[in-house]
C-alpha cells in the first residue's frame, strides 16, 4: 500500500516494526511489511528514526506540493543496478535505438488513448459517431509516428509535434464525453482552470513519483531522456516514460466524474484557478490506489497496474544492454 500523510500537523515515527501516525487525538499503526512508499502531501512532522526505518526497508518517502507535484524524495544512496545501463542509456539517447524506444513509448500512449475512448464509446451510443472520428484521427497520428526514421536527436521535434496534436484531440474527446457542468477547454496546468484538470494534475503528480522510483530501481538515469530535451535539473526520462502510464490517471479521473463522485466542495478557488482540498485529495488517492491495485493481463501474465511500471522499466534497461 501507499501510506499517505495528508493531514496538517500529522506526526510520523517508528514504533517497533511499524510506522506510527499521530494526528490530533487519533493514533494508528501500520506494519512496515504493508508499505511500498510514503507520500507526504501537507505540512507534517517525521522523525529521523522513521526515515532510517523506511530506507532500511526500501521504502521511498515522496513530498508533494500544493498541486501534487513531487518536489523531493528521500531514498537510499545505492544504485539500482550496474552503471553499464546508464552508459548504454546515454549512447541510445542520440541514435537510432533511442528513436525506436521513443516511437514505442508514444505509439503505446496513443494506443492507450484509443482503447480508452473505445471503452467510453460503448456506453455512450448517442456520442458514438463523433468519438469514432477522434479515434480515427488518433490512429492516423500513430501511423505518422511509426513511419519516422533516423536518429532520435534529429527526429525529436517531429515526434513531439505529432504527439502534441494527438493529445489535443484526445482531450477534446474527453471533454465531449464529460457530464454537463464539468466540460473543460483543453489542458490547464498549475493552477488548473477547471475541476477535471485539477484532479488530473494531482493524479499525474502521484504517477510521476512512481515512474521515477521505477527508473531508480531498474538502474536507469532519470535525467537522461530520449524524447524530452536535456534541460538542467530536469528528469527527462521520467517525462518520457510517464507517457505510457498517463492513462491510469485519466481513467481514474474520468470514472470519478462518470460515477458522479466529484463535488464542487472538493475544490478551493485560488488566484487564477482551482486547487484540490484535503477531501478531494483523499477521494482521488483512494481511487488511484484501487486503479494501481487492479490486476490485468499484460504481456502474457497477470500483473497489477502498479507493477507494470516497474516491469517496463526493467524491460527497457535490459533492452539497452543488448548489443543490437
* pLDDT tens digit sequence for 212-242: 989 988 889 999 999 987 665 688 999 999 9
- In the chain, CATH 3.100.10.20 sits at 2-64
| Topology given in CATH for the domain delimited by 2-64 | Ribosomal Protein L15; Chain: K; domain 2 (3.100.10)
The confidence band for 76, taking pLDDT boundaries of 50, 70 and 90, is confident
163 is in an annotated binding site: yes
| CATH superfamily of this structure's domain 84-321 | CRISPR-associated endonuclease Cas1, C-terminal domain (1.20.120.920)
Is the separation of the CB atoms in 159 and 108 below 8 Å?
A: no
- Cα angle 111, 122, 166 (rounded to 5 degrees) comes to 30
| H or E stretch at 304 | strand 301-304
- In the chain, CATH 1.20.120.920 sits at 84-321
pLDDT at 200: 97
CB atoms < 10 A from the CB of 315, how many? 12
Q: CA end-to-end span of the chain, whole Å?
A: 39
Crossing angle of the two packed helices 305-321 and 84-92, in degrees rounded to 10: 80
149 is in an annotated binding site: no
The residue to which cell 510517464 is assigned: 242
228 is in an annotated binding site: yes
CB atoms < 10 A from the CB of 18, how many? 17
pLDDT tens string 87-143: 999 999 888 999 999 999 999 999 999 999 999 999 898 999 999 999 999 999 999
Rounded alpha-carbon distances, angstroms, from residue 88 to 14, 55, 287, 320:
40, 28, 37, 6
Amino acid at each position: 500500500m501507499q501510506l499517505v500523510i495528508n493531514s496538517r500537523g500529522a506526526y510520523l515515527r517508528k514504533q517497533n516494526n511499524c510506522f506510527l501516525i499521530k494526528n490530533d487525538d487519533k493514533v494508528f499503526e501500520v506494519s512496515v511489511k504493508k508499505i511500498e512508499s510514503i507520500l507526504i502531501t501537507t505540512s507534517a512532522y517525521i522523525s529521523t528514526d522513521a526515515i532510517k526505518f523506511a530506507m532500511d526497508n526500501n521504502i521511498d518517502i515522496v513530498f508533494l506540493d500544493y498541486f501534487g507535484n513531487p518536489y523531493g524524495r528521500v531514498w537510499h544512496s545505492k544504485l539500482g543496478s550496474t552503471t553499464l545501463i546508464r552508459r548504454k542509456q546515454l549512447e541510445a539517447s542520440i541514435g537510432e535505438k533511442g528513436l525506436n524506444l521513443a516511437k514505442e513509448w508514444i505509439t503505446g500512449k496513443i494506443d492507450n488513448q484509443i482503447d480508452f475512448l473505445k471503452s467510453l464509446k460503448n456506453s455512450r451510443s448517442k456520442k458514438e459517431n463523433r468519438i469514432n472520428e477522434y479515434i480515427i484521427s488518433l490512429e492516423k497520428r500513430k501511423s505518422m509516428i511509426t513511419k519516422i526514421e533516423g536518429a532520435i536527436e534529429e527526429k525529436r521535434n517531429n515526434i513531439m509535434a505529432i504527439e502534441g496534436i494527438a493529445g489535443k484531440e484526445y482531450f477534446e474527446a474527453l471533454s465531449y464525453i464529460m457530464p454537463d457542468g464539468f466540460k473543460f477547454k483543453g489542458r490547464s496546468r498549475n493552477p488548473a482552470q477547471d475541476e477535471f484538470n485539477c484532479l488530473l494534475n494531482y493524479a499525474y503528480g502521484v504517477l510521476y513519483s512512481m515512474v521515477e522510483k521505477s527508473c531508480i530501481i531498474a538502474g536507469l538515469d532519470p535525467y537522461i531522456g530520449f524524447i524530452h530535451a536535456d534541460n538542467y535539473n530536469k528528469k527527462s526520462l521520467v517525462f518520457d516514460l510517464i507517457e505510457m502510464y498517463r492513462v491510469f490517471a485519466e481513467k481514474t479521473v474520468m470514472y470519478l466524474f462518470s460515477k458522479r463522485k466529484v463535488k464542487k466542495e472538493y475544490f478551493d478557488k485560488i488566484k487564477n484557478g482551482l486547487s484540490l482540498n484535503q477531501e478531494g485529495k483523499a477521494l482521488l488517492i483512494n481511487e488511484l490506489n484501487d486503479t494501481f491495485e487492479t490486476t490485468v493481463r499484460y504481456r502474457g501474465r497477470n500483473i497489477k497496474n502498479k507493477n507494470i511500471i516497474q516491469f517496463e522499466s526493467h524491460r527497457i534497461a535490459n533492452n539497452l544492454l543488448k548489443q543490437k
